[in-house]
Amino acid sequence: MDDDLRQAARDFLIRYGGDDFPDFFVSAKGTIVRDRTGREYLDFTSGQMCATIGHNHDAIVEAVSRAGRKAFHLFSGMIPEAVPQLARTLAREWLPGGISRSIFVNTGSESNEVALRIAKMATDGYEVLVLGGSWHGVTGGASGLSMASDRRHYGVPTPGVFVIPEPNAYRPYIPAPTEEEAALANLDLALKMFDMQSSGRGAAIVAEPVISAGGVLVPPKAFMQALRRAADERGMLLIFDEAQTAFGRIGAKTGAEYFGVTPDIITMSKTLGGGLPLAAVATTPAIEERIHERHFTFYTSHVSDPLLAEVGLAVLRVITEERLVERANTMGAYLRARLEELQQRHEAIGDVRGLGLLLGVELVEDRQTRKPAHRLGALTTQKCLERGLSMNIRRRPERGSVWRIAPPLTVLHAEIDRAVEILGGALADSLDELARAN
């Protein structure tokens, strides 16, 4: 049977990514996933950064069961009770003041498509500014905004997209005395170039509060505040893509709260569904009224589905009841301290950065040149998996060699200790192996 399934995978699946796992996986609970041999792995990526409250939390299982007793799916015009309940919970308990109107869809890509349609309709513009290193999805409009992925061979991207170099304190594009000055110099130059090229039809500035796929880069607060001013000065809307930063992972309710900046539109996905495909877009009543008057539409087969709204309510309830926002800060500090201990022992760890339980570890060949250690990163990631630790490594040459480390907010001290032990051993062995090979 094992050989049959492996052959079936080879014969019938489209290969869609760079990872190749040794066996099929059969179950997941909390921070642990298991393959068919019964082997356990610590999942320090929370699945696809989605299982914020841990895999298969009892509250999510019960929400799915509850929806099964009522309805999984309805016609898009039939609004189930859980949908306005979820929208009210977001507005009253989670979103910054003034952001109170929501629509519920399925994926992060889809939520960013909604946000783009809203911005373009509300402003009558089409030009969009986006940060380098960003990841906003793979669908038509969203893929045009995604700068951290391979953009080749997919045809003509959506026109009107302009790039702001991402703030990177470890690898600044424009060296300056402080991180803040370097980031603001990036932005000033990018805005001047945009203004030279713009046709005067600006629609939106789109930003992730933490640029995750670009290497877990945390902009200075002054940079995010400057984005707000830049949007206002040009009649554009500010969109925060909070797929990974909303609902506690960075130790705040949202990135908007952390940076003290209220955007016009917030997109949410991964962390809202707890592992199920739920996404949302929220905006102000004034923007919602304007696009409604202009006959805004976004029809999908699964907009406002009852199953996912039940799950979203359960996820938010667990985060509140288990105080997981606060826990992200305390456990994130503990994990960061353990990683910094590794950094003291290994010259190859050039930087440890991030917020809460969204951390980045950048590997370099030496700390003076900061040349990315791509071979070391790939080899150590493989050895970690062999020893029971799953992590995500950024492999884009221009983005450095950066582990994105994001365990569930329910992670235990013992699990962090075990993960760091595996990582340290794998890194030491990889360094030895590469030294012998050279």
Q: Is 101 in contact with 282 (CB distance < 8 Å)? A: yes
Active-site hit among 228, 351, 404, 415: 404
**Identified catalytic residue from 241, 264, 288, 305:** 241
Which of 228, 249, 270, 394 is labelled catalytic? 270
**What is the three-class DSSP state of 383?**
helix
208 is catalytic: yes
SS3 (DSSP) at 291: helix
Q: One of 43, 179, 208, 362 is an active-site residue; which one?
A: 208
Task: From the candidates 101, 113, 127, 135, give the one annotated as an active-site residue.
Answer: 135
Is residue 112 exposed (0-12), middle (13-18) or buried (19+ Cβ within 10 Å)?
buried
Identify the DSSP state of 365. S
Q: Is 244 a catalytic residue?
A: yes
- List the one residue out of 29, 21, 25, 42 whose CA is nearest residue 274: 29
How many helices (H) does the chain have, and how many strands (E)? 15, 15
Alpha helices in 260-305 (DSSP H): 270-273, 285-293
Secondary structure (3-state) at 59: helix
404 catalytically annotated = yes
HSE-CB at 373 with a 13 A cutoff on CA atoms is 27
Give the separation between CA 300 and CA 46, rounded to whole angstroms. Answer: 27
135 is catalytic: yes
- Cα Rg for the chain, rounded, in angstroms? 22
CA distance readout (Å), 335 to 332, 361, 430, 438: 5, 12, 22, 33
Q: Are 238 and 204 in contact (CB under 8 A)?
A: yes
CA 317 – CA 436 distance, rounded (Å): 52
Q: Residue 318 and residue 320: Cα distance in Å, rounded? A: 5
User: What's the CA gap between 187 and 133, in Å, rounded?
Assistant: 14
- Provide the annotated active-site residues: 135, 208, 241, 244, 270, 404
